[in-house]
Structure 1
Amino acid sequence: MHVAEAGEGPLIVLVHGFPELWYSWRHQLTGLAEAGYRVVAPDMRGYGLSECPAEADQYTIHHLVGDVVALIGALGADRAVVAGHDWGAQVAWHTALMRPDLVRGVAGLSIPYRPRAGLPPLPAMRRAMGERFYMLYFQEPGAAERELERDVPAALRRLLAGTSGGAPPFDPVVPDGGGFLDLYPEPDRLPGWLTEPDLAVYAEALGATGFTGGLNWYRNLHRNWELTAPLNKAAIQVPALYLTGTDDFVVRGQDPDRLADELRRWAPRLHRSVLLPGCGHWTQQERPAEVTAALAEFAASLD
């Protein structure tokens, strides 16, 4: 596992999502180190310079949580604050759920914690969104890879800009005869939080590894649902923090008070639920100072 590391003090582990790298936490690495913490951001399994197993069944939630648990141990720490964004939020929430003895506090960005559903996820998605919902499109091995890897910089440009703050709302259903990238128009320019050198870091890494590793996280939705049956209706018992943006497609249009109340039901030690006006999906990159400050304040409350 490849990691980026900064600072000294109590450990904070930062877990990225799809399709990103440790680099998505570049601002928090320096900011939280300056605040007195040892901050470690790994390339997660299937990404960057970390190992990328070929088999889809090597990317279950147990594997991903296990990687975080093993990383905390390899760093010589007894406990850590674990923060995650997008898919990384799911990993962070489940690390706190499965190993509360190792997690001082958990922070989720974009994706709120929700308990295991009563129905298998793929049929539920088909019923709610139809056969062309993007997560269902990701299930077929090779299909999304061929589309995304045809021109990696162009694919990332469209995806990152199309889900950024200020981008127009979109329906996450792949059009008949089209592809995933048809959801996002070609942008005239990059959003202000993303530079061409930033984009090049992602493009170089994903051009080298391809997208299969990251897509395999999605290809375990049903397997994860089966594996987490013992955790059905379980609540997170460690202190928690949640941050999201008003323009994030994951929660756009939801009532923030109701969202916080629902989260507090399953994470009763919720410290705060932070709503960032005008912020899109890429929370810690779009609003680096606010996210860093919120994480530092949360970690300090645990000290």
Structure 2
Amino acid sequence: MNATRQHRIQVNGIELSVQVTGADEGPPIWLLHGFPECWHSWREQIRALAAAGYRVFAPEMRGYGQTSSPAAIADYDLLTLCGDIQQAMDHFGHAQVVMVGHDWGAVVAWHLALLEPQRVTRLITMSVPFAGRARRPVIEIMRELYADRFNYILYFQEPGVAEQELNADIERTLRLFMQDQDVFLQKKPPSARLLEGVPAPGALPQWCSQADLDVYVNTFADHGFRGPLNWYRNFERNWQRTECLAGQQVLQPTLFLIGDRDPVGIFEAHTLKRMPDSVPHLEQHVLPNCGHWIQNEQSQQVNTLILAFLQKP
């Protein structure tokens, strides 16, 4: 496998850091990470895909790592995030690509499939399903459902509050997210903090070495969590700006993967049931004994499913 090389390119008003691996002539495949992750989250997939002949593009998404982290919340709306990748594909001369996304990266990947029906030829998403544009902003629905109890997405809405907590000890924050995914399902008052009452982190999970964790920590060292949290502060703006996509289906062949212990499966149970209506060419798998960090926790099974899906006619 060719060594990974960093490209820093000017797109959509920012500098985007993209790690590129694999033979120059290989078909391009993009890997979009989620929160709170980094390009290194795809390390096992990068190796497998490059070995299979693909040229792999793993960006640090807007607000993360060495990619620009603008101050304005509106600079992180969904169509702007899609625009970063669209212009990056232009930069690299990509006429056809496979798009892969996990968590928030999956949200971007779903919408790139809608915006670029000719260029995105196959789609692979993990953890976050898709069932079309909602009838009203999701954040309105969440405020009604969680008026009397804690919800981490609502907690993220007030600028500065979550940043202060998560930035206080970045390594501890990341270790807790990796080791205890139930922090996102806590039952406590709406005024609580996310990590309040959570026990100190123990040993790292088997899939994350200290060297791996160091890469994650370095990703947040300069800018902290402000940029990544701003992704969560655009639900209403996202809904307004995607009106043109209302009613559209994702028509590309699509592979969807989720762990049976993923908290998102609880939050998005209704969307999971409705997904085939919006994604008619859908193959989906629930991975056993697997939480949210699916491409790391079950990397071998994820790689097997991805490569088998890519080999289908």
CA drift of 1:141 comes to 0.6
Partner Cα separation in structure 2 for residue 49 and residue 18 of structure 1: 16
- Contact residue 110 and residue 250 of structure 1 kept, 8 A: yes
Partner Cα separation in structure 1 for residue 184 and residue 156 of structure 2: 18
Match of 2:144 among 127, 140, 146: 127
2:203 is the alignment partner of 1:186: no
CA drift of 1:176 comes to 4.8
Deviates more, 1:23-32 or 1:122-131: 122-131
Which residue of the partner structure matches residue 154 of structure 1?
172
Q: Secondary structure at the match of 1:251?
A: helix
Distance of aligned partners of 1:190 and 1:175 in 2 relative to their CA distance in 1, 3 Å threshold:
farther
Give the structure-1-normalised TM-score: 0.91
Deviations 1:45-69 (A, max 9, x none): 1101111111111111111111111
Match of 1:245 among 245, 255, 259: 259
Deviations 1:229-262 (A, max 9, x none): 221222111111100100000114988xx97652
Match of 1:93 among 106, 110, 115: 110
Which residue of the partner structure matches residue 6 of structure 1?
21
Give the structure-2-normalised TM-score: 0.89
Partner Cα separation in structure 1 for residue 72 and residue 268 of structure 2: 36
Match of 2:229 among 196, 207, 215: 215
The aligned amino acid for 2:154 is L
- Contact residue 171 and residue 217 of structure 2 kept, 8 A: yes
Distance of aligned partners of 1:221 and 1:177 in 2 relative to their CA distance in 1, 3 Å threshold:
closer
The aligned amino acid for 2:311 is A
Which residue of the partner structure matches residue 12 of structure 2?
none
Deviations 1:1-52 (A, max 9, x none): 1111111311110000011111100111111011111111000111011111
Partner Cα separation in structure 2 for residue 145 and residue 274 of structure 1: 34
1:218-229 superposed matches below 5 A: 218-229=232-243
The aligned amino acid for 1:21 is C
2:185 is the alignment partner of 1:171: yes
2:32 is the alignment partner of 1:20: no
Q: Secondary structure at the match of 2:185?
A: coil
- Contact residue 39 and residue 60 of structure 2 kept, 8 A: yes
Q: Secondary structure at the match of 1:268?
A: coil
Deviations 1:175-210 (A, max 9, x none): 455311137432321211111211111112202121
The aligned amino acid for 1:187 is P
- Contact residue 120 and residue 225 of structure 1 kept, 8 A: yes
Partner Cα separation in structure 2 for residue 182 and residue 161 of structure 1: 16
Deviates more, 1:291-300 or 1:46-55: 291-300
How many residues align structurally?
295
2:54 is the alignment partner of 1:40: no
Q: Secondary structure at the match of 1:250?
A: helix
- Contact residue 170 and residue 183 of structure 1 kept, 8 A: no
Which residue of the partner structure matches residue 264 of structure 1?
276
Partner Cα separation in structure 1 for residue 41 and residue 32 of structure 2: 9
Which residue of the partner structure matches residue 141 of structure 1?
159
CA drift of 1:274 comes to 1.2
Q: Which runs of 5+ in 1 are unaligned?
A: none
Which residue of the partner structure matches residue 309 of structure 2?
298
1:63-82 superposed matches below 5 A: 63-82=80-99
Identity value in percent: 40
Deviations 1:126-150 (A, max 9, x none): 1112263211111111000000000
2:288 is the alignment partner of 1:277: yes
- Contact residue 7 and residue 33 of structure 1 kept, 8 A: yes
Deviations 1:77-136 (A, max 9, x none): 201000000000000000001111110111110001121111222220011122632111
Distance of aligned partners of 1:172 and 1:10 in 2 relative to their CA distance in 1, 3 Å threshold:
farther
The aligned amino acid for 1:90 is V
Partner Cα separation in structure 1 for residue 44 and residue 99 of structure 2: 16
Distance of aligned partners of 1:50 and 1:218 in 2 relative to their CA distance in 1, 3 Å threshold:
same
Partner Cα separation in structure 1 for residue 90 and residue 50 of structure 2: 20
Q: Which runs of 5+ in 2 are unaligned?
A: 1-15
Distance of aligned partners of 1:71 and 1:254 in 2 relative to their CA distance in 1, 3 Å threshold:
closer
Match of 2:46 among 29, 33, 37: 29
CA drift of 1:290 comes to 1.3
